[in-house]
Structure 1
Amino acid sequence: MVQRVVPDGCSDVLVFADGEAVFAGPALCADLVPLTAGTHVRGLRFRTEALGPVLRLPAEELRDKTLTLSAVLPDRVMRTVAEQVWAGRFPDVLRPSPIDARVRHGVRELFVTGAAVGDVADELGVTERHLRRLFLDHTGMSPKAVQRVGRFQRFLHAADTSRAGLAELAAATGFADQAHLTREVRSLAGLTPGALRRERSGMQPPGSGLDGLR
């Protein structure tokens, strides 16, 4: 099968049964992943604000990248992480350094409520430029990108659980209008909203109707 992986603000360590281990960074576009029958994979997911503090790397460098885990972690650490993820345990070596409470709060406001970036910066007592630096270091994405992905995810949840039309869903999930919804879904998922909805409901096979996907 082919799995369409769409932006959700998170990052993952994926370990396959043959020992292959990969890191998938935060993304702003979709990826089509072919999976052969019998594929067995286990994973560890990083919350949006935890990527930089966990890996102790500038998270911005990992955006839109899928890498071997050895490209992200030293070999010895990589082997330990892969073994423990496969065993279903959180790797002790990935215990995060402290996560900035401002970033944690900002991510929640932008992702869940769709608050304006300027309003969040004002609430946290920082400039928009400083908020952007904090977000890039912690999440790999700008505040505006986190806001976009959150709005897109709110649309997906609403579309999966409601029979409402696209114009109604656009209004309910923070888009200016249906045209804005269509542009954003094309950019983030590679399909029109209607095609993506059909794909997710099983009415259209993944990868068909592909439009604008790298």
Structure 2
Amino acid sequence: MTLSARYSELGLAADVSDEVEAVWTSVSDRAGSYRVLPDGRCDIILRFDAGQKPINSATVVVTGPVTRFYDVAIEPGMGFAGVRIRPGCFESVLGFEPTDLANANLIGPDAVSACPGLEALCAPARDQTELVARLTAFVGQRATASRFRPAPLARSVISAFHASGGRLRIREVAEMHGLSDRTVQRLVVKATGLTPKAFAAVLQFHRALRLLRDHRLSPAAAALEAGFSDQAHMSRVIRRMGGFSPARLPDVTLVSLLD
């Protein structure tokens, strides 16, 4: 696996902060592949030729929540501008639930067919900055006009899973909120497109990678801190979700995950 793109997160406008977790851009500097890790989120992305000024056109991509890695082939100068949607806000922005896109992506005509409003995002633009502004305006306008509203209780449940780094079980989260297990299951699936168990596993996976890479803990210490039963358990999860060994972490991008 080769990481061949420069990823950066931009400042977030206050008027879309309820719906958008991050606004980001990425430009490839050589041919290769970009490894996408599961993060329990959905993104709306515009793919374009960063070498064009102005940009003649863009292709829209909507990514669904995934539970294991996948690689995207990229060419030199391929650019991406994206917004990462907060859990619970996908339906209000795009009009359908994230479960409809679990472990799948919609690209180009398929994305436009699912949400016709996306077509306007692909029009020519002066530069990358205009594409980013177009994306955030789209999210804000769609969320304001939508009849779907994120459930406040869902946000609280999602926050509980985040605060524990994915270590809480569904029963514990249910008891914290005075809910049944079934209600927590329904809230998490509707908000993220993943079951509570799968969503918690993604959070625990990211927690382990942060401990290994950013805090430079040993695999054994990271496994203990992240709540795995042992180092071997953590290694199996990282290999399955990320496609690499915790002993040899590649230079993958770890996105910011908020609660």
TM-score by length of 2: 0.70
Equivalent position to 1:88, from 133, 144, 152: 133
Q: CA RMSD in A?
A: 2.1
1:135 maps to which of 160, 168, 188: 188
For residue 201 of structure 1, report the CA deviation from its aligned partner.
7.4
Does residue 7 of the first structure (1) align with residue 49 of the second (2)?
no
Paired with 1:99 and 1:201, the residues of 2 have a C-alpha distance of 31
**C-alpha deviation, 1:164, in angstroms:** 2.0
Q: Which residue of 2 aligns with 1:166?
A: 219
Q: Displacement, 1:81?
A: 4.1
Instruction: Please report how far the alpha carbon of residue 82 of structure 1 lies from its aligned counterpart in structure 2 after TM superposition.
Output: 4.4
Contact 1:2–1:33, Cα closer than 8 Å, also in 2: yes
Inter-partner Cα distance in structure 1 for 2:171 and 2:68: 25
TM-score (norm 1): 0.84
| CA distance in 2: counterparts of 1:201 and 1:47, whole angstroms | 22
- The unaligned stretches of length 5 or more in structure 1 are 203-214
Q: Deviations over 1:46-104 (max 9, x none)?
A: 12232233323132111111112214302xx1123445971424114431632111211
In the other structure, the counterpart of 1:60 is 99
Q: Compare 83-92 and 53-62 and name the one that shifted more.
A: 83-92
Change (3 A) 1:82 1:102: farther
After TM superposition, give the deviation of residue 172 of structure 1 in Å: 0.9
- 1:122 counterpart = 2:175: yes
Q: Alpha carbons of 1:161 and 1:14: their partners in 2 closer, same or farther (altered >3 Å)?
A: same
Q: CA deviation at 1:123?
A: 1.9
Instruction: Confirm or deny: 8 A CA contact 1:49 1:107 kept in the other structure.
Output: no
Tell me whether 25-34 or 64-73 shows the greater mean CA deviation: 64-73
Structure 1 stretches of 4+ moved >6 Å: none
Deviations 1:82-134 (A, max 9, x none): 45971424114431632111211111111331322111112222211121122
| Mapped partners of 1:164, 1:179: distance in 2 | 15
- The percentage of counterpart residues that share the same residue type is 25
User: Which structure is higher in helix share?
Assistant: 1
